Amino acid sequence: MKTRPVKPSASRRNFLSGLGLLALMGAGVFPMPATAETARAVQRHRQRIEDLIAAMTVEEKAGQLNLLADPFRWMPTAVNPLDGTGDPARVTALIREGKVGSLFNGIGAETGRRIQQVAMEESRLKIPLLFAADVIHGLSTIFPVPLAEAAAFDTHLAYRTARAAAVETAASAVHQTYAPMVDVARDQRWGRNVEGAGEDVLLNNLLAAARVRGFQGEKGLDDRDAVLATAKHMAAYSGAIGGVEYNTTDMSEQTLRGVYLPPFKAAVDAGALSIMSAFNDVNGVPASGSRKLLTDILRGEWGFEGFVVSDYTSEQELVAHGFAEDGRDAARLAFNAGVDVSMVSGLYLEHLPSLVASGEVSMARLDEAVRRLLTTKAALGLFDDPYRGTDPVREKAVVGSREHIALSREAGRKSVVLLKNDNQLLPLNKSQKIALVGPFADDVDNVWGPWTIWGAPERRVSLEAGFRAAMTDPQALTVARGSGVETPLDGGIEEAVRAAANADVIVLAIGESQKMSGEAQSRTEIVVPAPQQALVDAMAATGKPMVILLRNGRALALEGNVKNAQAIVVTWFLGEQMGNAVADVVFGDHGPSARLPVSFPHKSGQQPYSYDHKNTGRPANPDLPIEEYKARYRETTNTALYPFGYGLTYGEVAYGPVEMESNQMAWAGTLDVAVTVTNQGAHVAEELVQLYIHDRVASLTQPGRLLKDFKRVTLRPGQSETVRFTLNARQLGFIGEDNTYRIEPGLFDLWLAPHAQGGSAAQFRLVGPA
Ligand code: BGC
């Protein structure tokens, strides 16, 4: 069988080389939004950077690569409390001595100016500090968590929320965000699903690129509103065995390169100039000590030219991994592997000078890392204006602006997924009597999601507030918590039953608290906690119609009366406008338009699970309840209850057959495919038509289905539209046994379907090169 390897995209390796910047621009290889401004900023300072490197002592070079928590503006988080290194007097002294190059997780224009002044006025070489922060889904204005926003399947929306976050961040004297997280996550037990774009590679790639562009903007990194994006955590962090946080990953090179690495490549191609190395080990080598990942692939194969930062002490953790003997050894291994900047541990400051003296680290490697960081600082415009973003008037004007708050509500309602709607229970009538029950009914502590540091608590909108604002008679709403999140509430169920007694419909706001997902929040069972399940049982016993509003940072395995409720809505953590955004959908001002970016399995024990699993030699028939000696569990088929891509509208969309221009695709040609979708319902429907393929015969077995494209179409009641796609051979390849991308001719199945388990397959043949 003939194959054709696909060439990697144009190399961008020349960013830091001695070549003239304008020549690079001419060659189209500038690694970020290639504005003349940014290019000129770097070029203007090229000589200064070389002069600085020549003037720096080894200690100052090591200091430049030392990244510490910002003790002046620090907001401790549960995961990363301020440790002993964070004494303001000590850090001020380190800045004066040139022993720190960057600070993170402090914000604020005015204080930012004062800290920068220490570097610019009191240090010998006056190198501006780089300020970084975990701005994951908004700085002050909090948008939906990234997993929720992924459900919108809308790259432009992701771009816009990242842009808004960047505007607020840049105005708060912060130059870099530790986002986007681009870890493809396929085990819902793992807590950090909430920070990513779900289980599918294509969706992760698209959102990685959109978010990088959103953070960095289109005008160059030195633009007033741009922040440096950091794709994290390289790599395979989400592949943790058993879904246990920080755990070992062990996988084939094909899975690494075919599933986990592509979103990092997409981020680099979109211009990300920073990468964070991961905590975990991959096939025995800790990621933060992996030369293969951080140098050979990242720089050698992809041409990345920015800098690599370790995750919080991840280079120090090479010792606990059993990969390094002690801190000095860890610093040597991480640094030589390609980690340029050390976060928090202080190991580079402590050990790089002696490692250089002994020859275990070369001066050339040290200079290279310093050059990468200084060049990125220049690209950010810090050598032109070290005080960028320190104007408190501008900070006040843009942070939490009306426009951003409106965008948060828009993003929120576009992220809500409707899973079930028997007898058209939704949308609710605004003059109905409603009992809003559950631990999240009137709650504001769980609307942001787990990765919010600087939100404005007073702006959080509870479901109760959102519902009352939407209803004709706000008094027609009765509210009862009924249960705590993980523990029962004394008398809670009785109160909830009383609230339900006079209502036409019960709306149950249940699920996970925001502390149940995020870093270090792995779960063994991805279910609704038992006390809430008991509350739902009591509500079901009233016989009233029931809407479930799930709050969640991962896919859940729904059980019993939750699963059997007439209506089920996935509401994630939608950010500060949560109550309003949910009300927009529940009362029909916005028809549900989102789709699941993660499969909701039948049972927790199916994890890890993703829709694109392989057929195996004994594929099970999903329609048969029990089939022995097939690839399935005793208790359930190997499918999802609600698969990837699933989501209903208030309309009723029917799919016609797949129409194909031909049943053959020429090797260098394209294939046009189309499907006609018709809204047979009474409400407008926003349908997301999804194109999946299956490579029937290949030199390595391929997923039973793989998403290749999607398109959104809005249909009025009764309206039909033909949705067209053009497919080409480059979309049909995979990572072969030789670890390169290859395309093989042969037979393919193709679906144009509403979700990963829907539609019927058509076939075409990719005809090999002559
Ligand atoms: C997380 C990173 C984060 C860093 C800094 C770590 O615990 O894994 O995602 O950027 O802390 O706060």
- Which of 74, 183, 519 for mutating ligand 1's site (highest number of atoms within 8 Å of CB)? 519
Q: Is the CB of 245 under 6 A from ligand 1?
A: no
For residue 344, how far is its CA from the centre of ligand 1 (angstroms)? 11
Q: Is 572 helix (H, G, I), strand (E, B) or coil?
A: coil
Please state the atom number of ligand 1 nearest to the C-alpha of residue 343: 5
Alpha carbon distance 134, 242 (integer Å): 27
Partners of residue 721 on adjacent β-strands: 677
For residue 133, how far is its CA from the centre of ligand 1 (angstroms)? 9
For residue 63, how far is its CA from the centre of ligand 1 (angstroms)? 21
Alpha carbon distance 585, 507 (integer Å): 13
Q: Is the CB of 311 under 6 A from ligand 1?
A: yes
Hunting for tokens 């010998």 — which residue is that? Answer: 124
Beta strands in 630-745 (DSSP E): 640-642, 653-655, 659-660, 664-666, 670-679, 685-695, 706-715, 720-728, 734-735, 741-743
The catalytic residue among 154, 187, 269, 311 is 311
Q: Is the CB of 519 under 6 A from ligand 1?
A: yes
- Which of 67, 73, 74, 80 for mutating ligand 1's site (highest number of atoms within 8 Å of CB)? 80
Q: Is the CB of 178 under 6 A from ligand 1?
A: yes
For residue 178, how far is its CA from the centre of ligand 1 (angstroms)? 8
Cβ–Cβ contacts within 10 Å for residue 618, how many? 10
Convert the pLDDT of each residue in 304-315 to its tens digit. Answer: 999 999 999 999
* pTM of structure: 0.95
Residue whose C-alpha is closest to residue 91's, from 76, 78, 74: 74
- Cα dihedral 424, 430, 433, 436, rounded to 10, equals 80
Convert the pLDDT of each residue in 504-536 to its tens digit. Answer: 999 999 999 999 999 999 999 999 999 999 999
Distances (CA, A) of 102 to 128, 575, 751: 9, 29, 49
Residues of the chain with pLDDT under 70: 1-34, 75-85
DSSP structure class, residue 243 = G
Q: Is the CB of 102 under 6 A from ligand 1?
A: no
Alpha carbon distance 266, 246 (integer Å): 24
- The stretches of 591-746 forming alpha helices (DSSP H) are none
Alpha carbon distance 328, 401 (integer Å): 47
Convert the pLDDT of each residue in 626-665 to its tens digit. Answer: 889 999 999 999 999 999 999 999 999 999 999 999 999 9
How many residues are listed for the chain in this entry? 770
Looking at ligand 1, which residue's alpha carbon is closest to its atom 10? 178
Alpha carbon distance 49, 369 (integer Å): 12
- The amino acid at 139: L
Looking at ligand 1, which residue's alpha carbon is closest to its atom 4? 312
Residue partners of 676: CB distance under 8 A and separation at least 6: 655, 656, 659, 720, 721, 722, 723
**What are residue 220's phi and psi, to 5 degrees?**
105, 150
Structure tokens given for 191: 């807590």
Cβ–Cβ contacts within 10 Å for residue 320, how many? 12
- Which of 67, 233, 312 for mutating ligand 1's site (highest number of atoms within 8 Å of CB)? 312
Q: Is 92 helix (H, G, I), strand (E, B) or coil?
A: helix
Alpha carbon distance 519, 256 (integer Å): 22
Residue 311 appears among annotated catalytic residues: yes
Rg of the Cα atoms in the chain: 27
Looking at ligand 1, which residue's alpha carbon is closest to its atom 8? 311
Please state the atom number of ligand 1 nearest to the C-alpha of residue 178: 10
For residue 29, how far is its CA from the centre of ligand 1 (angstroms)? 31
Task: Look at domain 407-606 and name its CATH class.
Answer: alpha beta
For residue 443, how far is its CA from the centre of ligand 1 (angstroms)? 27
For residue 724, how far is its CA from the centre of ligand 1 (angstroms)? 42
For residue 681, how far is its CA from the centre of ligand 1 (angstroms)? 46
- pLDDT at position 18, please? 31
For residue 603, how far is its CA from the centre of ligand 1 (angstroms)? 30
Looking at ligand 1, which residue's alpha carbon is closest to its atom 6? 312
Alpha carbon distance 11, 652 (integer Å): 47
Alpha carbon distance 507, 496 (integer Å): 11
Alpha carbon distance 626, 335 (integer Å): 54
Please state the atom number of ligand 1 nearest to the C-alpha of residue 105: 12
Q: Is the CB of 74 under 6 A from ligand 1?
A: no
Task: Tell me the domain boundaries of the chain.
Answer: 13-41, 407-606, 649-767
Q: Is the CB of 134 under 6 A from ligand 1?
A: yes
Let me know: does 337 contact 291? Beta carbons within 8 Å. yes
Q: Which long-range contacts (CB under 8 A, 24 or more apart) does 281-284 make?
A: 281/248, 281/249, 281/321, 281/323, 282/235, 282/236, 282/239, 282/249, 282/250, 282/251, 282/256, 283/249, 283/250, 283/251, 283/256, 284/250
Let me know: does 410 contact 141? Beta carbons within 8 Å. no
Alpha carbon distance 339, 341 (integer Å): 6
Residue partners of 27: CB distance under 8 A and separation at least 6: 14
- Which of 83, 311, 342 for mutating ligand 1's site (highest number of atoms within 8 Å of CB)? 311
Cβ–Cβ contacts within 10 Å for residue 713, how many? 16
Alpha carbon distance 129, 160 (integer Å): 28
For residue 312, how far is its CA from the centre of ligand 1 (angstroms)? 6
Let me know: does 442 contact 463? Beta carbons within 8 Å. yes
- Cα dihedral 488, 491, 492, 493, rounded to 10, equals 100
For residue 107, how far is its CA from the centre of ligand 1 (angstroms)? 16
- pLDDT at position 35, please? 72
Q: Is the CB of 404 under 6 A from ligand 1?
A: no
Cβ–Cβ contacts within 10 Å for residue 393, how many? 8
Q: Is 179 helix (H, G, I), strand (E, B) or coil?
A: coil
Cβ–Cβ contacts within 10 Å for residue 506, how many? 26
Please state the atom number of ligand 1 nearest to the C-alpha of residue 79: 7
In this structure, the strands spanning 659-660 and 664-666 are: unpaired
- pLDDT at position 37, please? 78
Q: In this structure, which topology does domain 649-767 adopt according to CATH?
A: Immunoglobulin-like (2.60.40)
Cβ–Cβ contacts within 10 Å for residue 737, how many? 11
Containing 128, the helix (H) or strand (E) segment is: none
Alpha carbon distance 46, 370 (integer Å): 13
Q: Is the CB of 187 under 6 A from ligand 1?
A: no
Alpha carbon distance 39, 202 (integer Å): 31
DSSP structure class, residue 424 = G
Q: Is the CB of 79 under 6 A from ligand 1?
A: yes
Q: Is the CB of 520 under 6 A from ligand 1?
A: no
- Which of 70, 74, 178, 215 for mutating ligand 1's site (highest number of atoms within 8 Å of CB)? 178
Containing 155, the helix (H) or strand (E) segment is: helix 155-170
H, E, C per residue of 567-618: EEEECCCCCCCHHHHHHHHHCCCCCCCCCCCCCEECCHHHCCCCCCCECCCC
Please state the atom number of ligand 1 nearest to the C-alpha of residue 279: 8
Let me know: does 390 contact 112? Beta carbons within 8 Å. yes
